[in-house]
């Protein structure tokens, strides 16, 4: 397997993990992912910390997209 294929598989895994975390933790998903980043970094687990950073980015992007797609009522 090439490194490109492995990177793609990792990205797919991160997408699925982010989706599952949002489903389970809802609005708290980013907080849970951030805690996991911190724990991995403090434990000196650089690859795991990077993995959780990518998952956190996906979660934050999805939450931002969700906020943008919800129309706000116009008061006036």
Q: Which of residues 70 and 47 earns the better pLDDT score?
A: 47
Range with the largest mean pLDDT of 3-7, 9-13, 14-18, 61-65: 14-18
In 1-76, which residue ranges form alpha helices assigned H by DSSP?
Answer: 3-25, 29-42, 46-69
Closest to 9 in 3D by CA, of 17, 33, 32: 17
The region, left, alpha or beta by phi > 0 then psi within -120 to 50, assigned to residue 46 is: alpha
Q: Return the pLDDT at 4.
A: 45
The pTM score is 0.75
| Structure confidence at residue 12 (pLDDT) | 92
pLDDT, tens digit, 9 for 90 and up, residues 8-56: 567 899 999 999 999 999 999 999 999 999 999 999 999 999 999 999 9
């Amino acid at each position: 397997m090439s490194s490109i294929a492995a990177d793609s598989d990792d990205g797919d895994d991160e997408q699925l993990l982010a989706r599952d975390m949002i489903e389970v933790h809802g609005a708290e998903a980013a907080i849970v992912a951030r805690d996991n980043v911190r724990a991995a970094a403090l434990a000196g687990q650089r690859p795991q910390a990077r993995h959780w950073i990518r998952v956190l980015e996906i979660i934050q992007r999805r939450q931002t997209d969700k906020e943008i797609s919800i129309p706000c009522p116009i008061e006036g």
